[in-house]
């Protein structure tokens, strides 16, 4: 297994750092998959993670100027590592001013992702900083847990309102209840509702628009045609999980969508340039 990459473009470094920082705010530990073309940050939707699933994909060419990767074997030409994204984020944040950043898979006291950079200084010699981020190699027999999740059979897909607005609403609702109901319909309306014994609060969003998935985007017939366009499809989720998702966003997405499977799962999709982030929040009773 070998990995050597160099990031030379400041903008790419900046963007990569922000993606990693976003991931670090969503989860403490995740799996990093490296293939010849892509990088994936994956959280499998296991009970241990509270049922949360995450899939973040970016193309390696938009991060690295030089990239050499040799996977576990020629048939399984990929590297799968378990990493604490916060460490990676911290390391990357300190090297933002560097002319070049090297990323290597190394073996120090344990397998590590080493981030090394030369920082510019006032003097002739540059300052060299090295961060060794410990990682765990994920064995091949477990790779099936970290495959790209299939698009669920959603009932409604809707574009999200501005994330900042959503975050403000959810932050305040969190003070009143632990659970929030997200509902949306086929005419671009979305509601965020909380209900307690004493009070219920609903925030209505209109004219959001529905993404045109078409028949090929979803399996099994897609949105139910027999459903009334105004009928709301809903899922009740743990409000903290939604809040965590909204708090972590560092990159302003160019597209933000939400697919709801009635009373099953909320599937959030954010797209920005070549970076896509999918986040699955299971519904609770």
Partner 1 sequence: MDCVVTGGNVKVLAKAIHSLSRIGDELYVEPQEDGLALRSVNSSRSAYACFLFAPLFFSRYTIPSGHTFRCKIAIKSVQAVFRSLATLEKTVEKCHIELDEQKNHLTFTLHCKHGLMKTHNLSFQDSESLQAVFDKDSYANVFRSHPRLLVDTVVHFPPSLEEVTVSVSDERMWVRNHVEEEADQSKAMLTELCLASDEFDHFAVQAHNSVTFCLKELRGLLVFAESTGLPISMYFDEPGSPIVLSVTDSVLEGNFVLATLSDDHNHRKNNTKRECTLPPPPPDDFMNDDIDAYLIAMDTSIAPGPSATCLSTPPVADSICSKQSAAANHRTRLHSEEEEEEEEEEYETADSGRPPNKKFCSLFFGSVLSPSSQMTTQPVTSQEVLASDSEDDVQ
Query: Which residues lie near partner 1 (CB under 8 A)?
Result: 84, 87, 90-91, 94, 108-110, 112, 121-134
- C-alpha separations of 224 from 211, 214, 230 in Å: 15, 12, 13
Across the chain, the runs of DSSP E, i.e. the strands, are 2-7, 30-34, 38-43, 53-59, 66-70, 79-83, 101-107, 111-119, 127-137, 156-159, 179-184, 190-195, 200-205, 233-238, 255-261, 265-272, 275-282
Dihedrals φ, ψ of 17, to 5°?
-60, -40
- The least CB distance from residue 100 to partner 1, in Å, is 15
Q: Which is nearer to partner 1, 47 or 122 (CB)?
A: 122
C-beta of residue 27 within 8 angstroms of C-beta of residue 43? yes
What minimum distance in Å lies between the beta carbon of 256 and partner 1? 31
- Minimum distance from CB of 110 to partner 1 (Å)? 4
- Complex with partner 1: residue 124 or 175, whichever CB lies closer: 124
| Distance of alpha carbon 237 from alpha carbon 262, whole angstroms | 12
Minimum CB distance to partner 1 smaller for 32 or for 194: 32
Least distance to partner 1, CB of residue 20, Å? 14
Measured from the CB atom, is 131 or 240 closer to partner 1? Answer: 131
Q: From the CB of residue 227, how many other CB atoms can be counted at a distance below 10 Å?
A: 15
Which lies closer to partner 1 via its Cβ, residue 74 or residue 124?
124
Least gap, CB of 40 to partner 1 (angstroms): 22
């Amino acid at each position: 297994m070998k990995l050597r990459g160099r990031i030379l473009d400041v903008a790419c470094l900046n963007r990569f750092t922000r993606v990693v920082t976003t991931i670090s705010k969503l989860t403490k530990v995740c799996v990093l998959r490296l293939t010849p073309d892509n990088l994936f940050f994956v959280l499998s939707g296991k009970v241990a993670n509270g049922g949360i699933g995450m899939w973040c994909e970016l193309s390696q060419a938009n991060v690295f100027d030089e990239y050499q990767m040799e996977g576990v074997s020629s048939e399984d030409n990929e590297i799968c590592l378990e990493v604490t994204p916060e460490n990676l984020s911290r390391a990357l944040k300190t090297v933002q001013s560097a002319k070049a950043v090297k990323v290597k898979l190394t073996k120090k006291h344990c397998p590590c992702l080493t981030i090394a950079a030369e920082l510019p200084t006032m003097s002739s010699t540059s300052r060299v900083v090295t961060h060794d981020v410990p990682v765990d190699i994920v064995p091949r027999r477990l790779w099936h847990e970290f495959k790209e999740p299939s698009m669920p059979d959603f009932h409604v897909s809707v574009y999200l309102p501005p994330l900042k607005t959503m975050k403000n609403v959810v932050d305040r609702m969190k003070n009143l209840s632990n659970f929030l109901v997200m509902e949306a319909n086929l005419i671009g309306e979305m509601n965020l509702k909380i209900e307690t014994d004493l009070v219920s609060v609903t925030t209505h969003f209109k004219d959001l628009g529905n993404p045109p998935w078409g028949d090929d985007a979803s399996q099994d017939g897609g949105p139910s045609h027999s459903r009334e366009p105004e009928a709301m499809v809903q899922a009740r989720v743990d409000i903290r999980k939604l809040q965590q998702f909204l708090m972590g966003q560092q990159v302003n997405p160019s597209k933000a969508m939400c697919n709801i499977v009635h009373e099953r799962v909320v599937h959030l999709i954010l797209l920005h340039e070549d970076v896509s982030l999918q986040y699955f929040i299971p519904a609770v009773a």
